[in-house]
Structure 1
């Protein structure tokens, strides 16, 4: 008879396999939308059976990679708020969001193919990113490090240019410049720390 606790390590192994596949798939699909699934499985160190048990089709893999990356970006906001002053957390999270924008640009062809097969991307990931931005903006408003009243919608409109930067240009330099400008704009009119306000 199997010991009931023997299943726990299998579940954690299965979860690690799944996450490894997603990490490799993100990198490979960002580089080339038509990356062979067999190559992704091999680089992730899993067999074809394990791969297809997790992701029965290219479309399923692409959509899950996109959602996985959104979740990673969203979770980074809370991690940064726990370890950085609010304004530094916001600026570093903007850098993380920029890397996500680049990955999304690289995944664009794969996403188009996936969504034409199984629906639409409308709203996919919007909730977690909006929650992350709300946490960051609220922390900064309480700390007095950004102007009051900035909404998540304001923020996303301000950084919309990220999605316009071609990955073939000097992407990092242009993204840094744009995000520094946005951060400067958010700081303009900031009241300062609560104890320094008269």
Structure 2
């Protein structure tokens, strides 16, 4: 990529990040192009679909999130790692308004620009769940798909203004449904309420 094209690309991503922070993931590509000071054709040359733009925007965050799962796996007990992972996911969902719905849709669509990132998140989640199940600290009757669905539901809920004030409470309910140890003991009690 030429230097001026690279500069354009970086500038468009920065503008898109701001617009999405203000308006959520349904922000118009035309608005993003206008505010970035580029033509719509230029924007579409870099990002042929809105999903491709979000994939580029989220890639760093999703890679960091997936890497975090690896760190949690080696540094924490299985149940603490799983709970911390779900908490990391919630923080991510709160930082990108509307992203969870996009990811939930992309999860089963191999043609989606977000598919690979979703697959990595799903795989990391399933691995942490299996580790906790092997230790008997997570319920045995769920799989990676169930965990991804619960994480998506929780991510969607905390993104809604009506539920956002109860985000921490909702997180604890979901975490206590996943773990086999009773709430108030173990990893749930060592995080701030």
The reply to whether TM is greater than 0.5 is yes
What stretches of structure 2 of length at least 5 have no aligned partner? Answer: 1-5, 38-42, 183-193
3-state SS of paired residue (1:90): helix
Matched residue, 1:169: 162
CA 1:56–1:139 in 2, change beyond 3 Å: closer, same or farther?
closer
Is 1:29–2:20 an aligned residue pair?
A: yes
The reply to whether residue 187 of structure 1 matches residue 179 of structure 2 is yes
Return the alpha-carbon distance in structure 1 between the equivalents of residues 19 and 150 of structure 2. 30
Offset, 1:77: 0.8
The RMSD of aligned alpha carbons is 4.4
Cα gap change, 1:158/1:55 in structure 2, threshold over 3 Å: closer, same or farther? same
- Cα 1:141/1:108, change in 2 over 3 Å: closer
State the partner residue of 1:136: 128
Aligned residues: 163
Q: Highest CA radius of gyration, 1 or 2?
A: 1
2:15/2:35 contact within 8 Å kept? no
Is the 2:126–2:143 contact (alpha carbons within 8 Å) kept by the matching residues of 1?
yes
Query: Does 1:146 pair with 2:138?
Result: yes
Q: Is the 8 A contact 2:98 2:159 kept in 1?
A: no
Question: Do the aligned partners of 1:22 and 1:68 also contact (CA within 8 Å) in 2?
Answer: no
Name whichever of 28-37 and 181-190 sits farther off.
Answer: 28-37
Deviation at 1:149, TM superposition (A): 4.2
- 1:166 Cα deviation after fit: 4.2
Give the unaligned 5+ runs of structure 1: 1-13, 42-51, 191-198
Residues 28 and 40, structure 1, Cα contact 8 Å, conserved in 2:
no
Deviates more, 1:176-185 or 1:161-170: 161-170
For residues 76 and 24 of structure 1, the distance between their equivalents in structure 2, rounded to whole angstroms, comes to 27
**Pick aligned residue for 2:97 from 105, 128, 131:** 105
1:132 and 1:19 mapped to 2: Cα distance?
29
Residue pair 1:81, 1:136 contacting (<8 A) in 2 also: yes
- 2:36 & 2:169 partners in 1: Cα distance? 34
